[in-house]
Every structure is written in structure tokens, then in C-alpha cells.
């Protein structure tokens, strides 16, 4: 989800407000406020996850560079005292880097699992076809999409696209904490409450 997506949503809400009479606006003002709040939550969550992922990647790269430098120093060390000190520093650095990579891997697994569940929850809903073009869906393996075959950045973007669609009003009848209740026939369309307004995502 980009900054342009955030602005597009705000523009859509502004267009809605502009087109409605005061009476009409009064009837849906609470819904618009809720949608705006939900979108902001989605945006904040996405930014938080994205920043954390980028920060960890940078830390891991920094540690990798430091490890390479220590390995070079070890090769040119001249006495046993210096060698043992460098070896100790190198081991500590490798252990720290391994913990960072393990933590990063666990976070990535959580994100993949989260989207896998979201996909299963939403894929048979009538609104899914509107969102599908914006998702990265890999080839199937053992009858299911192989989510391990695409990057974590693509997974995070997929999550953001589903949540963005929900913020716009799609999948309104899907309870994401109960995946088994979302088996709605693909031809049964659930119209977005914003679909008739200018700037709404179709």
C-alpha cells in the first residue's frame, strides 16, 4: 500500500461528502467515520510492519559487513592474543546475527501464515474478484498456492490490499476470525457502500 493509496482513499471520502446532501450525509456519517478509522488502522499497521522489516534487514546487512571485517582481521592477526580476541568478537557477532535472522524468519512465517488464512477466508467471496488483480498469487503446490515461493514484501502487500478492500467496504459480511463462515458463492456480489460515489474503488 503506497502513499498514493492513502490519498486516493481520502479523496474518495471527500468526494462522497461533496455529493451528499446534509440529510444523506447525516445518515451515513458514522459509517464513513468508521471506514476512515479502519483504513487508518490498516495504513498504520502496514507502515509499522514494513518499517520493522526494513530495519531488521539493514541490521542484518550491517552485521554481515562487520563479520566480514572481523574475518579479514583474523586472517591478518599476528599473535595469539589478537587472534583469540578477534575469534571471540566474531563468535559473538555471528550469534547475534543468527538471532536477528531467526527472529526475521519467524516474523516472515507469521506474515505468510496470516495471509494464507486471509486468502482462504476471502477467496470464495463475491468481492474477491475486485481485489485479485492487485494480489500476487503464486503457482499451486499440492493443490494450494505456494506462499513460500513469493517474497515477504509481496506477502505484506497482499495483506495490505485485502485490508484496504475491507476498509473500503468490501467483504463487509466476512468475519475474519471465523474463516469457515466465508464460503459465499463467487457470483453472489456484495456491493461496496462506496461503489456509487465518485472516486470509489470498483
pLDDT digits (tens, 9 = 90+) for 9-45: 667 667 766 777 777 777 777 766 776 676 666 667 6
165 closest CA partner among 195, 186, 143, 138: 195
Tell me what pLDDT residue 199 has. Answer: 39
Tell me what pLDDT residue 67 has. Answer: 85
- Judging by beta carbons within 10 Å of its beta carbon (0-12, 13-18, 19+), is residue 168 exposed, middle or buried? buried
Q: How many Cα atoms sit within 13 Å of 40 on the Cβ side?
A: 8
Number of helices followed by number of strands (H, E) in the chain: 5, 2
Q: How far apart are CA 143 and CA 145, in angstroms?
A: 7
Q: How far apart are CA 177 and CA 51, in angstroms?
A: 26
Q: How far apart are CA 135 and CA 155, in angstroms?
A: 9
Tell me what pLDDT residue 132 has. Answer: 93
Contact 32, 12 (CB under 8 A): no
Contacts of 17 (CB under 8 A, 6+ apart): 25, 32
Tell me what pLDDT residue 72 has. Answer: 83
Tell me what pLDDT residue 195 has. Answer: 43
Q: Which residues of the chain have pLDDT under 70?
A: 1-10, 12-13, 16-17, 31-32, 35-36, 38-43, 45-50, 176-202
Q: What are phi and psi of 145, to 5 degrees?
A: -55, 135
Tell me what pLDDT residue 191 has. Answer: 41
Contact 28, 20 (CB under 8 A): yes
Domains of the chain, by residue range, sit at: 3-181
Tell me what pLDDT residue 116 has. Answer: 92
pTM score of the predicted model: 0.52
Tell me what pLDDT residue 99 has. Answer: 87
Tell me what pLDDT residue 46 has. Answer: 66
Amino acid at each position: 500500500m503506497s502513499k498514493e493509496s492513502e490519498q486516493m482513499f481520502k479523496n474518495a471520502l471527500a468526494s462522497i461528502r461533496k455529493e451528499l446532501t446534509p440529510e444523506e450525509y447525516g445518515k451515513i456519517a458514522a459509517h464513513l467515520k468508521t471506514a476512515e478509522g479502519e483504513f487508518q488502522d490498516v495504513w498504520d499497521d502496514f507502515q509499522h510492519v514494513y518499517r520493522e522489516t526494513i530495519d531488521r534487514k539493514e541490521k542484518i546487512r550491517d552485521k554481515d559487513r562487520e563479520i566480514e571485517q572481523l574475518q579479514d582481521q583474523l586472517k591478518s592477526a599476528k599473535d595469539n592474543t589478537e587472534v583469540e580476541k578477534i575469534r571471540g568478537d566474531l563468535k559473538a557477532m555471528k550469534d547475534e546475527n543468527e538471532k536477528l535472522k531467526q527472529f526475521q524468519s519467524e516474523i516472515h512465517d507469521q506474515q505468510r501464515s496470516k495471509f494464507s488464512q486471509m486468502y482462504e477466508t476471502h477467496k470464495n467471496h463475491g468481492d474477491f474478484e475486485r481485489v485479485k488483480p492487485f494480489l500476487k498469487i503464486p503457482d499451486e503446490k499440492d493443490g494450494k498456492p505456494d506462499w513460500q515461493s513469493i517474497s515477504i514484501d509481496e506477502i505484506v502487500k497482499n495483506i495490505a490490499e485485502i485490508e484496504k478492500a475491507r476498509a473500503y467496504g468490501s467483504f463487509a459480511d466476512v468475519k475474519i476470525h471465523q474463516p469457515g463462515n466465508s464460503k459465499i458463492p463467487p457470483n453472489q456480489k456484495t456491493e461496496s457502500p462506496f461503489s456509487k460515489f465518485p472516486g470509489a474503488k470498483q
